[in-house]
Amino acid sequence: MTQLKNYPPFLLEKSGKPSVPVVLSSPHSGTFYPERFFRLTDLKLADFQQYEDAAVDKLFSFAPAMGLPLLSAVYGRAWVDLNRHPLELDPTMFCDAVPAQIKADSVRVKSGFGVIARQLNPDTLIYKEKMRFAVERSRLTEIHFPYHAALENLIKKNLDIFGRSLLLDLHSMPLLPPDFRINGKMPDFVLGTGDGACCAAPIAGAAAEILRDLGFLVTINLPYSGAYTTLHYGRPDLRSQAMQIEIGRHLYWDSKQYVPSENFNTLWRKLSLFMERFLQVLPTLPL
């Protein structure tokens, strides 16, 4: 793939030296798709937009002013999923050889949602025919690898400066099926800690308490406990913690028109207030 200079592999917004050991990442908010993508598929841009974490990076645009670096995707998730292991590849999608060490048995790969997704949903395949991995691996080398190198660098800086780090991995979620709701209600936020393996319970508990005080319905690890980013960077034993934050799109997004809803600015303000309060209590937490 020929890279376009106007479309880097990621965007990083920050303001000087970090003031607190917190990093924000938004791996699914990218909206750019190379023209070549639409020669490989019969699907349209509107189909892929439904797969994005719409405007999550915009919801946290206040972060750099608070001294928090915000790393966000540029390319759409359907082109390359930055919240997957780079070896979560489906060999049936390619007509040539793939790396011998691929994780073809991954639950996500088997479901069609590897680092290069096979489908948008159970009924919608993306590609018209098999592709050449020798060509498509550029999605990894030119986008996935640089994004995670930047994220690792931000975490390393926190560890060097503060001796500890907390990654908040930001996502959005559509309306959940009734079986995944809480007493029939759609959660507003789901905080994922890898079922406690990636982030200390008091950190998630403090975040949940602040969000609930702001009027939101919050769950922890139900139904989302975290994916690759959370599991990979959440290493409490090395003082590197990671928590996934899923935000209900019903709070801020008009999915039919694919535009912010009238509630977008209200949520933006509440999230900035949440972050301000969270940073105030963070020194008291086991980070």
Q: Say if residue 82's pLDDT is above 60.
A: yes
pLDDT the model gives residue 6 = 61
Least confident range from 4-8, 168-172, 223-227, 281-285: namely: 4-8
Give alpha helix (H) positions in the chain.
37-40, 45-49, 56-59, 107-110, 133-136, 138-139, 145-162, 201-213, 228-233, 264-281
**What number is the average pLDDT over the span 262-287?**
97
Q: Say if residue 268's pLDDT is above 50.
A: yes
pLDDT the model gives residue 5 = 52
Report which DSSP code applies to 101: T
Q: Say if residue 263's pLDDT is above 90.
A: yes
Domains of the chain: 10-284 (3.40.630.40)
Give alpha helix (H) positions in 41-194.
45-49, 56-59, 107-110, 133-136, 138-139, 145-162
Query: Could you give the 3-state DSSP secondary structure of residue 34?
Result: coil
pLDDT the model gives residue 1 = 37
Q: What is the pLDDT of residues 34-74, one digit of tens each?
A: 999 999 999 999 999 999 999 999 999 999 999 999 999 99
Cα pseudo-dihedral 149, 52, 106, 121, rounded to 10: -160
Q: Say if residue 4's pLDDT is above 70.
A: no
Q: Say if residue 15's pLDDT is above 90.
A: no
Q: Say if residue 234's pLDDT is above 80.
A: yes
Q: Say if residue 128's pLDDT is above 90.
A: yes
CA angle 208, 212, 215 (to 5 degrees): 150
pLDDT the model gives residue 90 = 98
Q: What is the pLDDT of residues 151-192, one digit of tens each?
A: 999 999 999 999 999 999 999 999 988 887 878 889 999 999
Rounded percentage of the chain residues whose pLDDT exceeds 70: 98
* Residue type at position 268: W
Handedness of CA 232, 141, 26, 263 (dihedral sign): negative
Handedness of CA 92, 120, 228, 52 (dihedral sign): positive
